[in-house]
Amino acid sequence: MSKLVIVGTVAFDAIETPFGKTDKILGGAATFIGLAASQFNVDASVVSIVGGDFPKEYLDLLSDRNIDISGVEIVKEGKTFYWSGKYHNDMNTRDTLATELNVLADFNPVVPEDYKNAKVVMLGNLHPNVQMSVLEQMKEKPELVILDTMNFWMDCALEELKAVINKVDVITINDEEARQLTGEYSLVVAARKIHKMGPKYVVIKKGEHGALLFYKDNVFFAPALPLEEVFDPTGAGDTFAGGFAGYLAKTEDLSFENMKKAVIYGSTLASFCVEKFGTERMTGLDTREVHHRLQQFKNLTQFDIELA
Amino acid sequence: MSKLVIVGTVAFDAIETPFGKTDKILGGAATFIGLAASQFNVDASVVSIVGGDFPKEYLDLLSDRNIDISGVEIVKEGKTFYWSGKYHNDMNTRDTLATELNVLADFNPVVPEDYKNAKVVMLGNLHPNVQMSVLEQMKEKPELVILDTMNFWMDCALEELKAVINKVDVITINDEEARQLTGEYSLVVAARKIHKMGPKYVVIKKGEHGALLFYKDNVFFAPALPLEEVFDPTGAGDTFAGGFAGYLAKTEDLSFENMKKAVIYGSTLASFCVEKFGTERMTGLDTREVHHRLQQFKNLTQFDIELA
């Protein structure tokens, strides 16, 4: 299980938070997923699309980390997908200031031949038809397919979304989206309904309140690390998904016990992502820092009660 | 460390939730704290006040669990404190429909002589002057004083509240109250500021999102157990505090490691409290059920990542 396919946006983001604002910087779901997964030195490929305006140095950031970018189509005469947003003071809510689809509007993803037998597929947030197209290009059923999505597709492409949800093993979704998708307020009940839509594993992301992993009648919870300051939440959910997918692709172990560890790795990497603007913290991250923070997660959550 | 003094309200509550409504039923902070602490068979005394309208069977509920009620003053001609509230659909917010202080308006707490050397004092949510009066009646400094409070006292008795906060070892407070008390949004920064006000241990309760325990540079987190349905949140915070205080009084171990276990016991007991109206679930609770749920908490939170 040595190969991971990641599909998602590679994009420009412009971000405003209470701490400052950026010009157009590197962003996109596949970018954050790839950077997180690269912590595990797993053989990975990003499938995406950018315009002729996209700096080579941004693509180099990925290929320098042994991420295969042959699946990133470059449309010379096109412009790269651009998103701009402004976070409110609580950092939990944001306004979208601009969304320019540009080359993303006509994106037909092409999975490189070498990756059509990958064992793990990470479908980052994109139109469900694009996610489905990637799945259909795989030569055999991958051992694990993980899907991330958002409320936007529930509003405008619900049937297509349900079709792809039915094909995946793991869905990662935030709490409000889980409620919207199922019409259930209780996340326990919502997870049960989502299981019935297809995914054996349901990960519900609660932002600063952590993440829940549901499998059959089991539930596991990973908190978010309490931080002094959340500088920029952009990409935290994708980083979580990338850490989760990368750890599972690397360890080649799809047991529930290992999924728990994948959730902890995802939470750990996400806790770094929010410390600086965009991808800045993730590109400078080393293994020593990750291990130190895993120890903090253990200290935060582990206790020793003996039961008769 | 075999004695625990609990001060707080013993009251009538009338509750309305999306699932139904009650007439006047047994409520009050000291009631919930006492019922939770009684799980540990610790020698405990409740200091409170009720009116002549308060049913003997409600007091029997406490004394049947070996809770000394000689410190509960009964004002024959008075009426018992009464609170009525209505929860919104999300169960996280509520409107207060009625608050009748009645006998609570002139409450002068009297600690029974036998309990003036108790090792643990649990100051339930009440006017800070009442909390201070209980502390001043103790013959020697208790080994552990725990204080619970609410935003109401920050609005109308902030200086008195700060005076009693300065005298306690542990404060339990919810996230919004911690923010109000300190003017800090980050709970990590808020906890540090509260440490400086006196308490060595700061417990920040986040309702359905769990609870954080801060001590020096350490932080521990206990999630709330994900439930299919929260039936009535009334008393959950007091039940948490009662489980925390009762466990520490029983085990006579004030180490940080043991405080973590106390937080887990508090969360476990609170997870039962919300399953039925008022005290109904807590009065029928047995040890077997508590142990089963502690195992669920372990399954929910424990993982095994080996670090180099």
CA angle centred on A204, ends B274 and A263, rounded to 5°: 110
CA distance A195 to B18: 26
Closest residue in A to B302 (Cα) is A302
State the pairing for strand pair B211-215/B201-205. Answer: antiparallel
Cβ atoms of residues B134 and B109 within 8 Å: yes
CB contact under 8 A, B303 and A220: yes
Nearest CA in chain A to B292: A307
CB contact under 8 A, A301 and B301: yes
Give catalytic residue positions of A: 238
**What's the gap in Å between the CA of B232 and the closest CA on chain A?**
14
Three-state SS string over chain A comes to CCEEEEECCCEEEEEEECCEECCCEEECHHHHHHHHHHHHCCEEEEEEEEECCCCHHHHHHHHCCCEECCCEEEECCCCCCEEEEEECCCCCCEEEEEEECHHHHHCCCCCCHHHCCCCEEEECCCCHHHHHHHHHHCCCCCCEEEEECCHHHHHHCHHHHHHHHCCCCEEEEEHHHHHHHHCCCCHHHHHHHHHHHCCCEEEEECHHHCEEEEECCEEEEECCCCCCCCCCCCCHHHHHHHHHHHHHHHHCCCCHHHHHHHHHHHHHHHHHHCCCCCCHHHHCCCHHHHHHHHHHHHHHHCCCCCCC
Nearest CA in chain B to A215: B300
CA–CA distance, B75 with B124 (Å, rounded to integer): 21
Q: Of B301, B305, B228, B307, give the one whose Cα is nearest residue B261.
A: B301
Mean pLDDT of chain A: 96
d(CA A129, CA A243): 24
Catalytic (active site) residue B238: yes
Partners of residue A257 in chain B, C-beta under 8 Å: 303-304
Centroid of chain to Cα B111: 18
Q: Which of B64, B155, B238, B286 is catalytic?
A: B238
**Nearest partner of A236 among A62, A131, A91, judged by Cα:** A91
Across the interface, whether the CB atoms of A298 and B308 are under 8 A apart is answered: no
Taking CA–CA distances from B230, the nearest residue in chain A reads A186
Whole-number pLDDT of residue B5:
98
pLDDT at A308 over 70: no
What pLDDT was estimated at residue B2? 61
Distance CA B280, CA B240 (A): 16
What pLDDT sits at residue B307?
A: 76
pLDDT digits 0-9 by tens, B159-199: 999 999 999 999 999 999 999 999 999 999 999 999 999 99
From chain A, the residues in CB contact with B261 under 8 A are: 303-305
Domain chopping of chain A, boundaries: 3-301
Low pLDDT (below 70) residues in chain B? 1-2, 308
For residue A300, the chain B residues in CB contact (below 8 A) are 219-221
A and B: number of Cβ contacts within 8 A: 96
Question: B3-301 — its CATH code?
Answer: 3.40.1190.20
Residue linked to tokens 């350490």: B218
> Is residue A206 predicted with pLDDT exceeding 90?
yes
Chain A residues near residue B291 by CB distance under 8 angstroms: 307-308
pTM for the whole structure? 0.94
Q: What are B's interface residues with A at a Cβ cutoff of 8 A?
A: 89-90, 185-189, 206, 209-210, 212, 218-221, 223, 226-230, 257, 260-261, 264, 291, 294-295, 298-305, 307-308
Higher pLDDT, residue B161 or A89: B161
User: For residue B3, how many C-alpha atoms fall within 13 Å in the half-sphere facing its CB?
Assistant: 15
Which residue on chain A is closest to B263 by alpha carbon?
A303
Residues of A with CB under 8 A from a CB of B: 89-90, 185-189, 206, 209-210, 212, 218-221, 223, 226-230, 257, 260-261, 264, 291, 294-295, 298-305, 307-308
- Are A261 and B302 a contacting pair at CB < 8 A? no
Segment B30-62, tens digit of pLDDT: 999 999 999 999 999 999 999 999 999 999 999
Both structure tokens of A114: 């070498």
pLDDT tens, residue by residue, A246-260: 999 999 999 999 999
Which amino acid belongs to residue B124?
Answer: G
